[in-house]
C-alpha cells in the first residue's frame, strides 16, 4: 500500500488557524475526502514544539493511503480530483510550498489499537548523507537507529516511512524518508522531545543523515476516512 504524505503551507494572507480550519471543515470533507480511490485519509495539524520559526515550513500534513500505483494514477484522473480537490487548493494552500512524498511503511512499534488513541505525533523528515546508498541508509535506520528511537519515553507507535523505490528512477529524491513518532497526549510528546533520549536520538540520526535537511513537524491527527 502507498502511504503518501503531503506537507502544506497557508496561502498568503491566511493565518495558520484559518488554514487548518478550512482544510478540516471544507477541503477534506467536500473535496479530497470524496476521491474514491483513497482508502484512508488523515490530516495532521501543526502544533508548537520547541523553538518556533517566524514562518514554519508547513502548517499541516495530509496522510493518504492508496492501494497501489494503478489506484493512485486513477485517483488523479477522477472528476473529484480534477474538478474538486485540485481546483480548491489555491483557496487555502500555497501550492508552491507543497512537498509530496510517496512512502512505504516500516512499522517498528505497532500502536495499541484504535481503542487507545495516540493522536499526537512528531514527524522527522530526513535525507541520507552524501555518498551513502539508499540501501545503506535504510539498513542503518532500521537495524540500529530504531533501537535508539525506541528508548523515547511515552512512545506508543513508531514507524519509518521510506521513499518508494520508483521515486529514484529519474535521479535523486528530495527526501529519503519520514520517521513518525506517536504519543497519547501533547504532554507526553513534549516530555519526549525535551528528554535526554531524544537528544541521543538526534545525535545518532546525524551520523547517517544530513543534519541541515532534518525537518520536524509536531502535529495532532484528525481522521477523515478510516482510522489507524
**Structure confidence by residue, pLDDT tens digits, 133-162:** 999 999 999 999 999 999 999 999 999 999
How far is C-alpha 198 from the chain's CA centre?
Answer: 19
> Average pLDDT of 176-185?
96
**pLDDT for the residue 51:** 87
Distance CA 183, CA 162 (A): 21
> What is the predicted pLDDT for the residue at 54?
87
pLDDT digits (tens, 9 = 90+) for 3-58: 999 999 999 999 999 999 999 999 999 999 999 999 999 999 999 998 888 899 99
Residue 75: what pLDDT? 97
Indicate whether 171 pLDDT > 90.
Answer: no
pLDDT tier for residue 114 given thresholds of 50, 70 and 90: low
Assigned C-alpha cell, 18? 484559518
pLDDT of residue 118: 81
Is there a contact between 90 and 150 (Cβ–Cβ < 8 Å)?
Answer: no
Q: Give the rounded percent of residues in the chain with a pLDDT score beyond 90.
A: 92
* For residue 112, pLDDT beyond 90: no
Q: Concatenated DSSP letters for 100-169?
A: EEEEEEEEEE--S-TTS---EEEEEEE-BPTT--HHHHHHHIIIIIHHHHTTSTT--EEEEEEEPGGGGT
Indicate the length of the chain as a whole number.
228
Assigned CATH class of 2-225: alpha beta
- On the question of pLDDT at 116 being above 80, the answer is no
pTM over 0.75? The answer is: yes
Question: What is the number of alpha carbons within 13 Å of residue 8 lying toward its C-beta?
Answer: 28
pLDDT at 64 over 70: yes
Q: At residue 212, does pLDDT exceed 70?
A: yes
Cell numbers for 100: 509530496
Question: Residue 204 and residue 145: Cα distance in Å, rounded?
Answer: 7
Amino acid at each position: 500500500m502507498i502511504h503518501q504524505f503531503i506537507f502544506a503551507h497557508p496561502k498568503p494572507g491566511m493565518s495558520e488557524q484559518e488554514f487548518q480550519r478550512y482544510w478540516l471543515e471544507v477541503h477534506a470533507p467536500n473535496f479530497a475526502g470524496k476521491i474514491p480511490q483513497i482508502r484512508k485519509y488523515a490530516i495532521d495539524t501543526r502544533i508548537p514544539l520547541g523553538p518556533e520559526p517566524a514562518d514554519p515550513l508547513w502548517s499541516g500534513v495530509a496522510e493518504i493511503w492508496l492501494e497501489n500505483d494503478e489506484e493512485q494514477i486513477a485517483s488523479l484522473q477522477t472528476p473529484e480530483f480534477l474538478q474538486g480537490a485540485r481546483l480548491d487548493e489555491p483557496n487555502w494552500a500555497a501550492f508552491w510550498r507543497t512537498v509530496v512524498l510517496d512512502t512505504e511503511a516500516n512499522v517498528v512499534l505497532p500502536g495499541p489499537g484504535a481503542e487507545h488513541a495516540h493522536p499526537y505525533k512528531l514527524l522527522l523528515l530526513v535525507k541520507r548523507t552524501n555518498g551513502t546508498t539508499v540501501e545503506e541508509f535504510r539498513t542503518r535506520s532500521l537495524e540500529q537507529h530504531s533501537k535508539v528511537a525506541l528508548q523515547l519515553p511515552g512512545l506508543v507507535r513508531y514507524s519509518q516511512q521510506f521513499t518508494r523505490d520508483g521515486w529514484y528512477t529519474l535521479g535523486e529524491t528530495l527526501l529519503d524518508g519520514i520517521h513518525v513518532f506517536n504519543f497519547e497526549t501533547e504532554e507526553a510528546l513534549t516530555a519526549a522531545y525535551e528528554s535526554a533520549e531524544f537528544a541521543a536520538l538526534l545525535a545518532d540520526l546525524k551520523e547517517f543523515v544530513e543534519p541541515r535537511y532534518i525537518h520536524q513537524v509536531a502535529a495532532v491527527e484528525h481522521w477523515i476516512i478510516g482510522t489507524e
